[in-house]
Structure 1
């Protein structure tokens, strides 16, 4: 037992050292890769590493991460809020910062009372991240996810099935809100908001889809298209929550106010501006 414990732990230490030049979280990455190679959850690995022997595939997984492949693509998922989202190449990887939108929606629901929201729209749903997390919270709601990428929509539908919410979730291909009808209580949106000339880490720039990241010279192109469409899509008493880059509060707020919205800002766990809540003034 002692020998096996040493084998796993020694490999984790070595992998952590190797990944320190690639990742901001090398130990976490090493543990996730080891758990993936073993076919177990990371928590099981941490509880008792002595139960396991190092799989041959672990070395190859570490090599892929050293080549800047995102950890989520290697293991095939990313945990977000209360759900696990399947992801892969060609699909935007969920970020913890985006959980700010779900937190904001929960706070609004407390103010609106029981039964809100009944209908949810997720513009640019990707693998279904925001919509499926919201449906997991708001068990009486139904939702629609829209994305321009058929590849992303395939992941979204699979994730809805895996999470058991497929009867309440529908998905369609679309160009933001173009052609959509109906009024929604809650609209969620994490659009591209990175300026075209902004430098990104190589694991993002070289792997994740550019169309889900970049939005023109100032990073605002998609807000300019999305926000003017929101008034006709929001039900009375509804709210739209948009993710923003941490320097974009003023510029995106101005776009929203020009469209007739009252705007409030929510910060992420790092204290950075991360989401704008848009409501109709009473």
Structure 2
């Protein structure tokens, strides 16, 4: 029998040897996940023997992480905007950078209807994290999440149920199955250039769904189509908001302007990189 500390250090060394960048953090997070201990309780109990079943489970998870399987795919947990989401290999892992998109959409919503009865469409919804984060704040809003992946929508539906935040989930090739009008259309579409994907970390290129990453040759295919088509489903004065790659702010903003959107802007993330582009559909002119 080994102590919690011995098993933990063994796990850390295994991850270091495997070249895992955050080996210390990940070894601890898996220990916390398996034992349910906080750091404070761990320090009080680190010299106690670790139960055999927990030690075996921990080592199995460490071995999977050593194969560069993302931590969140091992625990099936990812936190986003203060909410816990279920994730698996069929969806992108929610990332903190995407919270900037949620914050900007909420700012725009605050300028719109006073009663908050928005209709929101999340295109390429994946795990549903963006839509469900918005609905967790905009209590009176109705939300629809669309994705081409049936497996991704199953994950989104599960998150909707577990968080007790109702939404509608639709299998759709972009707008092919969408009907009705929305006040807000939000999207974090695939935006990585095809030739770049193989240079990404093993965790991303080997374990996250390529369909959710690949933005074709120049990474801008989905922005072009959504910018061109979204206006048919957006109310006058409604907002279209995208997450973008760090070098896509200028081109995507130009697409929105060419499609007739006003008040377009590019927003940076906490690292100072372009992260969000949004614009407002023109109000219809009234002729007397």
The TM-score with structure 2 as length reference comes to 0.88
Partner SS state of residue 206, structure 1: helix
- Pairing of 1:215-254 with structure 2 (within 5 A): 215-254=215-254
- Tell me how far apart the structure 2 counterparts of residues 157 and 67 of structure 1 sit (CA, whole Å): 29
Q: Report the count of equivalent residues.
A: 272
**CA spacing shift, 1:137–1:24, aligned 2, 3 Å:** farther
| Equivalent residue number for residue 91 of structure 2 | 91
Tell me, yes or no, if structure 1 residue 18 matches structure 2 residue 31: no
The farther-off stretch of 115-124 and 236-245 is 115-124
How much has 1:117 moved relative to structure 2? 5.4
Equivalent pair of 1:109/1:117 in contact (CA under 8 Å): no
How much has 1:178 moved relative to structure 2? 2.1
| Equivalent residue number for residue 265 of structure 1 | 266
- Tell me how far apart the structure 1 counterparts of residues 113 and 148 of structure 2 sit (CA, whole Å): 34
- Tell me how far apart the structure 2 counterparts of residues 250 and 65 of structure 1 sit (CA, whole Å): 38
- Tell me how far apart the structure 2 counterparts of residues 234 and 184 of structure 1 sit (CA, whole Å): 5
Uncovered stretches (5+) of structure 1, i.e. residues with no partner: none
Tell me, yes or no, if structure 1 residue 33 matches structure 2 residue 26: no
- Tell me how far apart the structure 1 counterparts of residues 26 and 114 of structure 2 sit (CA, whole Å): 40
Deviations along 1:224-260, one digit per CA (max 9) or x if unpaired, are 2111111121123321110100011111112111111
- Tell me how far apart the structure 2 counterparts of residues 174 and 24 of structure 1 sit (CA, whole Å): 37
| Equivalent residue number for residue 159 of structure 1 | 159
RMSD: 1.9
Partner SS state of residue 92, structure 1: coil
Partner SS state of residue 223, structure 1: helix
The farther-off stretch of 228-237 and 92-101 is 228-237
| Equivalent residue number for residue 209 of structure 2 | 209
Deviations along 1:16-64, one digit per CA (max 9) or x if unpaired, are 34324543322221122112222x3xxx421311357362211111111
Deviations along 1:167-217, one digit per CA (max 9) or x if unpaired, are xx0101001112422221111100000001102111110111111001111
Partner SS state of residue 188, structure 1: strand
The TM-score with structure 1 as length reference comes to 0.90
The farther-off stretch of 115-124 and 257-266 is 115-124
| Equivalent residue number for residue 189 of structure 2 | 191
After TM superposition, what 4+ stretches of structure 1 lie above 4 angstroms from structure 2?
A: none
